[in-house]
Structure 1
Amino acid sequence: MLYETRWNQQRGTRPVRIANCSGYEGTDPGYHMKLQAELGDIDFITGDYLAEVNIAENAEAFAAGTHPGYEQTAWDGLEQTIDIIAKKRIKVVINGGAQNPKGLVERTHELVTKKGLPLTVAYVEGDNLLSVMNDIRKNGLPPHLDSVNSEVNFPKDTLNLLEDESRPVVTANAYLGAREIVKGLELGADIIICGRVADASPVIGAAWYWYKWSETDYDRLAGALIAGHLIECSAYVTGSNFAGFYEYDLDNLYDLVFGIAEVENDGSCIITKHENGKGMVTEDTVKCQFLYELQGNIYLNSDVKGILDDVKIEQVGRNRVRLSGIRGAPPPPTTKLAIFYRAGYQSELLINATGYATAEKWDLYERMLRFGLKRRGILDKFDILEFQRVGTPAPNASNQLASTTYLRIFASAVSPSTNLGLAATMSEFSMQHFSGFHCTSDQRLALPRPYLSFYPALYPQSSLETSVTLLPSPSQGTAKSVTYPTTPPSHTEALAPRETYDCRAPRPLSGFGPTRAVRLGDIALARSGDKGANLNIGVFLPTALPSSLPPSARPEAWAWLRSFLSVAKMKALLGEDWRAEYHIERVEFAGIGAVHFVVYGILGRGVSGSARLDGLGKGVGDWIRDRVVEVPVRFLELKGGRNARDAARL
């Protein structure tokens, strides 16, 4: 009763504390939900279990009755935490229902009933559009997600799911907003299980309900949207995937607790964590996560558009960082629709070479395989066939591993026989190899394996049929489940091409004085990631690192960074990975000293369809930071710590 009284008396009168427990299926064990519940007072637990591909990976097994359709780690978390949820009156909103939110809710309801807990559970439906999209060759495809941008060239084979029936659609899920969540909470639900709601929608729904906002409170909703964006990726805001990790105690950077957002009534928030758990929340961890997976200066959600230009991030206490300055606007009339289809078969071959004449060894091996494939009549039957050289042998290496690199042969084709032909060709020439040829003993990846590819689309929100269903609580005896339909936003704004610009008032780089050739990472941090075929890269001046620039130097350093990091410079930094068919957009976030780029098409068809070794683009930011550039000496001389020592050695 103590916690229930607190809820009734405090709802809307103080910041709502929302703790996230998951950022992806399988990788975040259920104990993270329990930790968030037991380590301190919170009002809501949210969880994002769905990346773009995993909702599709188990779809066929679910349809065949060999998979439950929901995420196991979501169930594990509920099972471990249910007693604390009931005792503390914590409300839970997660999208771990995946393809079968009803199934997870029914299992949770059985647990609640067995324990006699006073909890009402509910599930959201309306995101699954497979029945609408399963005959696209007859009815056509909805518009591509990037169709409003005339500058974007779609990656090769983007539309090949229309070519023949050998590429059937497996899943089609629309990204829902928070409206169904809010409705369920208003009707008394304690636990709401969703399918494909957008990553931040559970946090938006929690804050919207807590403060009884209107659907047109766009600035507030947009603030909650970004709060959700900051905490939805597991421990990314508390020290994981953090570019400046090497400046800190490494033993504090694993076994991390996840983030908490304290959302205020105006939509601003403080990002924090439970103090009795490992990790850290600093301006720089928050900036890294803010820049992650953005698509420019507008963040889209089914309920609101977040306008990010004026974002501010500031440390206000130990492990407490305030984010403000987010503005909102009406949502678009469409939402994202993720369509996955069986695209064919993939194979990978990994071949090692050591030492002298490595480049010539790879030249020989590629020529030999292409000759064999052509003789078999299959060279032109691959959708993708790439010979990727990974690594550079260390000069005068003191051990063999340092002198060894490998060739990654990546192949995809519509027929498994084409990929089998690649393995057969490798076998045919297995004794006609270069000097020192060797490979791992396990070459199972050479065998063709089916894969799913991704088509991101736009779908009208007005065409969705969404609802929330409440199951009876144990105290209601034999009462039946009740379904409540929901409606789309009453006000929308059409999508427009995204803003892009080079520095609007660049300073001549020569005006910053003498320079030194150092790595870009000696002065800047970065974060990169994927959105389907597109890569985003955010680069910013660090604030909270031990070797950061002093406040007096930051305005000049920011003037240099924004003048230096032009679209042309990013193309140059991408080097041999840049292709003319790609397109770059660039914006600035002056309030946090960041320049942000979106590179369209560089990840191919994205997710499992990408031929890149780093198909999610997570390593690009660290690669760009390792590129050697000319940096004004005066900024380097102000810095201390590891980065300055490294710079001096270059």
Structure 2
Amino acid sequence: MTISPRGQKRSIRIANCSGAMSDEGAFMYKQCTEGPIDAVTGDYLAEVNIAANSQAYRAGTHPGWEPTAEEGLMLSLDVIAEKGIKVVINGGSLNPKGLAEKVHSTAVERGLDLKISYVTGDDFYDQVDSLLTPERHLAHFDSANHDVKLAKDTDDFLNDPNRVIVSANAYIGARGIVAALRADADIVICGRVADASPVIGLAMWWHGWSEKDYDFLAHSLLAGHLIECSGYATGANFADFDRYRPQEKLVDLGYPIAEISSDGTFVITKHETLNGIVNLDTARAQLLYELQGNLYLNSDVTADLANVEIKEIGKNRVEFSGVKGLPPPPTTKLAIFYVGGFQCEGMIVATGRNSTAKFDLLKLQITRALEILGTKDQLDILDFQEYAHAEPNPHDQKAGSSFMRLFAQAKTAAVAGSLGRALYKFGMQHFSGMHSTMDYRTFIPKQFLAYYPSLLPQSDITESAVIIGKNGEKDIVIPAGNISESISLSRDSYETSNPVDLATFGETVYTAMDEVVLGRSGDKGANVNIGLFVHEDDEWDWLRTYFTGDLMKRLVGDDWKDEYYLERVEFPHLKAVHFVIYGILGRGVSSSVLLDCLGKGFADYIRSKYVDVPKKFLARYEGKTILIE
């Protein structure tokens, strides 16, 4: 067993304090003070974060880092120094150097003996134009799958001489983090590292792993994935929450902790003093969230999850093993954001049983008005989306109301804004009872950013750790090297290998599957992933047999389009079936026409669909509640 840098054989205990920029600084402080930990990580970046602030940062009106990351460090610096806690976060965003320097100066002011560092190598903004030449042709992230059809306008910007790129950041790995930690850095500020890289880097440093200890690295990759979304592993975004009592225990959650052993196997847990739950269901849900399929790609390692196993070993303690590691892919994702145009939207309300007829009239009016304005054919997207249909015999007016979302995108603000003008043009010819919010500012066009995830060779990345010099000394730059080997693999897609005769499950009831089947879904660029899982062995035989790719397409319903592509794999030890639907989110979250642009509601939509569920399964869960101790 590898001896850690502190001369111990024990696991490293890594707490996560953030899964998004909304997680306030208090969460870092709680993780540092509510129980023993060795390190704290924070994931403050979604795919659009960096892009959203890039123009303001380059104009000098934004610091470039995430304010909640700064807040957490300022609250926690004293206890970090007192307890010797290591910190690795990606909250540096566009300007990790600036945040590191601010933390350094604050530590000096407070008399704290802390070595501060930051990682470079992810920002390709100044180089991106030279990379987007026809000779280089940075391929789209999904281009290797020839069955995938990219959404309309996805790569038009490549040939646009007037394009405005606002950010280009590569998902770098853990090498810079490890270099900083091996130079005794206490706090490592990163920009766009891959989400799990802070955890991988801390585990590599603690246990002395090499870059080729792939099985160990793959486990730490999964550990990072499990804790990177903060509350998602401790009871948030959890499909079965309504069975748990008391509900107050699911408010103000404690965030997860990964205890990673020297062989990579790990336990997910939390501070016992804080609210929340860690059990097989919350663990499986987060494991299945935003997966790419059976192979999980990272800049440092490829994790084969086909045989991953989980086991509940105590209260709020779930153990993971069985992950196989392989070399990393030769490429990583370069997230390019550019000005895609302008969009506007608004919500219109209809009351009564005939809302569909009312909305049909509205669509005719708006279409005709756009024709008169001369902008109908200039709109890139014009979409009418109906939501929340009125209940029959409603108990109040809210229950008797339906909503339509109007959405438009265009290259110019004037054309996009014509949606609002079209609504106004026939404003006094509206259907009976039409109403809306009195604030029509949503119809004012706003610039939107489009997303192009490209494949960048890892050999193009020059990654370094920078240690800020103390007492006026020069900063120390430590080159972090590059991957020494790589492998290109294709993900599997298959139906179950040994289906069971569905008749053996007995009488069925045509009802919503959510009484028996749990799930989690999320976005991966233009794609949505969904994992569905059950509890018992017979339920698993039914799920893997019944839930085919064709069934998933039917359940997607009218949202399914022939240009989408579907992958299906199984995780037998999780009793889970996993799907990726390529293309359903358009060009991705920042420009998707969908209200659920992050795909978070997709699992609950599918789980609400009616299927033939064995009656004996339903009986197991009828009226079931679970006590949170």
Structure-1 residue corresponding to 2:492: 499
Cα distance in 1 for partners of 2:13, 2:174 equals 17
Task: Specify which of 444, 448, 454 is matched with residue 447 of structure 1.
Answer: 444
Task: Specify which of 119, 124, 131 is matched with residue 114 of structure 2.
Answer: 119
Cα distance in 2 for partners of 1:468, 1:136 equals 24
| 1:36-185 superposed matches below 5 A | 36-134=31-129, 138-139=133-134, 141-185=137-181
Code of the residue aligned with 1:615 in structure 2: it is C
Structure-2 residue corresponding to 1:337: 334
Code of the residue aligned with 2:575 in structure 1: it is G
> Residues 136 and 162 of structure 1 are in contact (CA less than 8 Å); yes or no, is this contact kept in structure 2?
no
The CA deviation at 1:138 is: 4.5
The CA deviation at 1:472 is: 2.2
The CA deviation at 1:634 is: 2.3
Deviations 1:308-337 (A, max 9, x none): 011111110011111111110000110111
> Residues 167 and 344 of structure 1 are in contact (CA less than 8 Å); yes or no, is this contact kept in structure 2?
no
The CA deviation at 1:162 is: 2.5
SS across alignment from 2:621? coil
Structure-2 residue corresponding to 1:408: 405
Query: TM-score, length-normalised on structure 2?
Result: 0.97
Structure-1 residue corresponding to 2:249: 252
SS across alignment from 1:638? helix
> Residues 4 and 208 of structure 2 are in contact (CA less than 8 Å); yes or no, is this contact kept in structure 1?
no
Whether 1:557 aligns to 2:539 is yes
Task: Specify which of 603, 606, 618 is matched with residue 621 of structure 1.
Answer: 603
Task: Specify which of 333, 349, 354 is matched with residue 351 of structure 2.
Answer: 354
Cα distance in 2 for partners of 1:203, 1:638 equals 38
Cα distance in 2 for partners of 1:148, 1:7 equals 40
| 1:567-578 superposed matches below 5 A | 567-578=549-560
Cα distance in 1 for partners of 2:115, 2:518 equals 45
Structure-2 residue corresponding to 1:517: 510
The CA deviation at 1:380 is: 1.2
Structure 1: give runs of 5+ residues left out of the alignment: 1-5, 543-553, 645-650
Structure-2 residue corresponding to 1:483: 477
Code of the residue aligned with 2:213 in structure 1: it is D
Task: Specify which of 185, 192, 196 is matched with residue 196 of structure 1.
Answer: 192
Query: TM-score, length-normalised on structure 1?
Result: 0.94
Cα distance in 1 for partners of 2:622, 2:299 equals 45
The CA deviation at 1:186 is: 0.4
> Residues 536 and 597 of structure 1 are in contact (CA less than 8 Å); yes or no, is this contact kept in structure 2?
yes
Structure-1 residue corresponding to 2:227: 231
Task: Specify which of 589, 594, 597 is matched with residue 612 of structure 1.
Answer: 594
> Residues 353 and 392 of structure 2 are in contact (CA less than 8 Å); yes or no, is this contact kept in structure 1?
no
Task: Specify which of 611, 622, 639 is matched with residue 621 of structure 2.
Answer: 639
SS across alignment from 1:607? coil
Code of the residue aligned with 1:377 in structure 2: it is G
Structure-2 residue corresponding to 1:647: none
Segments ≥4 residues shifted beyond 3 Å? 6-11, 134-141
The CA deviation at 1:226 is: 0.3
> Residues 313 and 321 of structure 1 are in contact (CA less than 8 Å); yes or no, is this contact kept in structure 2?
yes
> Residues 166 and 342 of structure 1 are in contact (CA less than 8 Å); yes or no, is this contact kept in structure 2?
no
1:158 to 1:424, Cα distance in 2 relative to 1, 3 A? same
| 1:210-229 superposed matches below 5 A | 210-229=206-225
Structure-2 residue corresponding to 1:287: 284
1:367 to 1:183, Cα distance in 2 relative to 1, 3 A? same
> Residues 5 and 205 of structure 2 are in contact (CA less than 8 Å); yes or no, is this contact kept in structure 1?
no
Cα distance in 1 for partners of 2:251, 2:328 equals 38
Cα distance in 2 for partners of 1:641, 1:311 equals 31
Task: Specify which of 318, 322, 325 is matched with residue 321 of structure 1.
Answer: 318
Cα distance in 2 for partners of 1:35, 1:82 equals 12
Aligned residues: 622
1:19 to 1:358, Cα distance in 2 relative to 1, 3 A? same
Code of the residue aligned with 1:561 in structure 2: it is L
RMSD between aligned alpha carbons? 1.5
SS across alignment from 1:109? helix
SS across alignment from 1:539? strand
Deviations 1:562-602 (A, max 9, x none): 00110000001111111111000000000010000000000
The CA deviation at 1:7 is: 8.6
SS across alignment from 1:604? coil
1:464 to 1:304, Cα distance in 2 relative to 1, 3 A? same
The CA deviation at 1:356 is: 2.8
Code of the residue aligned with 2:616 in structure 1: it is R
The CA deviation at 1:427 is: 0.8
Structure-1 residue corresponding to 2:294: 297
1:370 to 1:340, Cα distance in 2 relative to 1, 3 A? same
Structure-1 residue corresponding to 2:29: 34
Cα distance in 2 for partners of 1:526, 1:478 equals 54
SS across alignment from 2:63? coil
Cα distance in 2 for partners of 1:260, 1:198 equals 19
